[in-house]
Structure 1
């Protein structure tokens, strides 16, 4: 390799090392999207689960006081952290009634961050993994 090629390769490597921390900081924090002053505990029936990185999502139909139903979406932890807590497609899938504790989204829509899930049978599992998320709200 000639000197010019080495200089270019070195510059590309340094640029990659500089960009790496910036990319990791670009990943959102809990406080960027969710409101720690708005805890919630909600019961619903699972309609969809997405075990994807960097965050899994669960959607559930929640019956409102007036009898209507709203589909809520909640961010969970990583698939690996959920699997280590034995949260899998076998026990969290469409049709399963669950209780979630967490926090509402800042955008005011039916979205939130789930810190805890209570499965049928009463097993309670911590689901959130954001390092800056507050402790789970007290459940009903």
Structure 2
């Protein structure tokens, strides 16, 4: 094999690595286990490939538990009306989404309702989730 061919193949394989690393909804979340979380925003991570909303939820026994809610990509959220100012820490929210398969305090968010009643769609299309809006 010529060195040019080897370099070309190596470049193609390296560029494909991020595609292999990306997960599908069904790999991590249970589409049959829809949950509703009511809590207070602790922080929002605007990172790729998915943004994360961290909320503090009061358990039945009164203890606070931090949940991590996976959202769509930041660019998709911005196109759907999200802003960095729309989800500040301390705001009460209701999150409808799907529980992680491993039972961790992690969910894939679909719909977020803010304390003022404003609803934000949190997902990204084409994930394989059972409930997707346009």
Aligned residue pairs total: 131
Shift of 1:17: 2.3
Shift of 1:15: 2.9
Query: 1:86-139: per-residue Cα shift (whole Å, max 9, x none)?
Result: 212201021011111100011111111001111222121211115211206xxx
In our comparison, the structure showing a higher alpha carbon Rg is 1
Match of 1:17 in 2: 12
Cα distance, 1:84–1:123 mapped onto 2, change above 3 Å: same
1:135 paired to 2:126: no
Shift of 1:46: 0.2
Which consecutive residues of structure 1, in runs of 5 or more, have no partner in the other structure?
none
Shift of 1:19: 4.7
3-state SS of paired residue (1:133): coil
Shift of 1:18: 4.3
Q: 1:90 & 1:22 partners in 2: Cα distance?
A: 34
Q: 1:25 & 1:100 partners in 2: Cα distance?
A: 29
Match of 2:30 in 1: 35
Give the ranges of 4+ consecutive aligned residues of structure 1 lying more than 3 Å apart after TM superposition.
18-23
Shift of 1:21: 4.0
Match of 2:59 in 1: 64
Q: Which moved more, 1:49-58 or 1:88-97?
A: 88-97
Which consecutive residues of structure 2, in runs of 5 or more, have no partner in the other structure?
none
Q: 2:89 & 2:112 partners in 1: Cα distance?
A: 15
3-state SS of paired residue (1:45): strand
Structural RMSD (CA): 1.8
Shift of 1:78: 0.6
Match of 2:68 in 1: 73
